[in-house]
Chain A
Amino acid sequence: MSRADEPAPVRAIHAEKAAYTGGEERPLGSFVALMGTYAAAVGAGALALRASGKQLPERVSAADLALMSVATHKLSRLIAKDPVTSPLRAPFTKFAGTSGEAELAEEVRGSGPRKALGELVTCPFCIGQWAATGFAFGLVVAPRATRMAAAVLTAVTAADVMQLGYAKLEEAAT
């Protein structure tokens, strides 16, 4: 279908996109799909909770919120940067060296949906939203298992910070 045959709203959307991107590869349609997927997943989760009769807690305790934050931090980094999880990212990325202790630098490749997914899975800040949402549902559906998983991730975070601090001290001592 040529541009001229498109219905007016589609043509208007294409014109806005062209004005926004200025020729850069920006997968706006795929980003819309990602936002839709997130909204649909949260909506489906909320409906499933309602159907199961499980009630949301009055509030998430401060301790749980802290646990969620640290676990989200670690889980996002594990998914986005860990060498062992790199096969999950390989369809969307290109190896580009290391970025830190046991962490890889990878470049997003491809265009459209592949690029959009690549930007999501290589960026801990982007995965954070999904990870935190998962932990929140987990706390309602299976609080003990979720806290246990979050505790493991929190312990790993503490251990990793200690590794970095220890390396620094070793260097200072020699």
Chain B
Amino acid sequence: MAETPFVNSLTEKAREHKHAYSQGEDRPLGSYATLITAYSTIGLGALTFAASRKSTTRISAADIALVAAATFKASRVITKGTITSPIRAPFVKFAGVSGPSELKEEMRVEGPLRALGELVTCPFCLSQWIATTFTTGLFLAPRQTRAVASVFAAVAGSDFLQLLYAQAEQAAEK
């Protein structure tokens, strides 16, 4: 990249803002910016492509409810699940169990890897990507996407029932 005075002053400005913002804490702002760019190009790009190819598809309220439940479960499975822990192992340290079939893990990387680590360990962060993927799938392969989403939604329903049933068991014992 040509180091023009304009680019130099822009970089300088960004660095000043980052310094004023982070107050000495490790805030990987550059990596977050990269993630936003990746999401905008890959995620929104794929969604726009799919929606424009099948412009007659209408996403029904039932589809949104299905994608919501499936996104909830899929993001938890990836960010907290026991069996999926190898996906997160490069970024975190095992720190015990946080719930049934869910692990507590601590971040162990710095810098750019940390931003990626936060994405794969935080259900609230990953859900944006997962909902986008399901919605893209609804345009490109509606039957298959609904089938996969139905499995995750059924697991979500089942898990809620497990917790409620365990509560009922405890209530009956008292």
Contact = CB atoms under 8 A, between A and B. Distances in A.
Q: Does B associate with A? A: yes
Contacts of B101: 119, 123, 125-126
B147 A56 contact: yes
Contact of A77 (B81, B144, B165): B165
Nearest to A132: B154
A101 B89 CA distance: 37
A133 B157 CA distance: 13
Given A35-B84, A123-B101, A22 B154 contact: no
B95 to A, nearest CB: 8
Nearest to A124: B162
Contact of A69 (B108, B157, B166): B157
Secondary structure call for the A interface: helix
Contacts of A20: 85, 89-90, 92-94, 108
A31 B82 CA distance: 8
Nearest to B144: A56
B82 A69 contact: no
A128 B93 contact: no
A24 B96 CA distance: 9
B83 A66 contact: no
B154 A135 contact: yes
A129 B155 contact: yes
Nearest to A120: B83
Contact of B162 (A35, A76, A132): A76
A79 interface: no
Contacts of B158: 69-70, 72-73, 76, 124, 128, 131-132
Contact of B150 (A16, A24, A55, A68): A68
Given A69-B161, A133-B151, A164-B168, A60 B146 contact: yes
The 7 closest A-B pairs by CB, nearest first: A69-B157, A125-B101, A72-B158, A73-B161, A68-B154, A100-B169, A56-B143
Interface of B: 62, 66, 77, 81-86, 89-90, 92-94, 100-102, 108, 142-144, 146-147, 150-159, 161-162, 165-166, 168-173
13 contacts: A20-B94, A31-B83, A31-B86, A56-B143, A68-B154, A116-B83, A126-B81, A132-B152, A132-B158, A136-B150, A157-B165, A164-B171, A168-B171
Interface of A: 16-17, 19-22, 24, 26, 28-29, 31-32, 34-35, 55-60, 62, 65-66, 68-70, 72-73, 76-77, 99-101, 103, 116, 119-120, 123-126, 128-129, 131-133, 135-136, 140, 157, 160-161, 164-165, 167-168
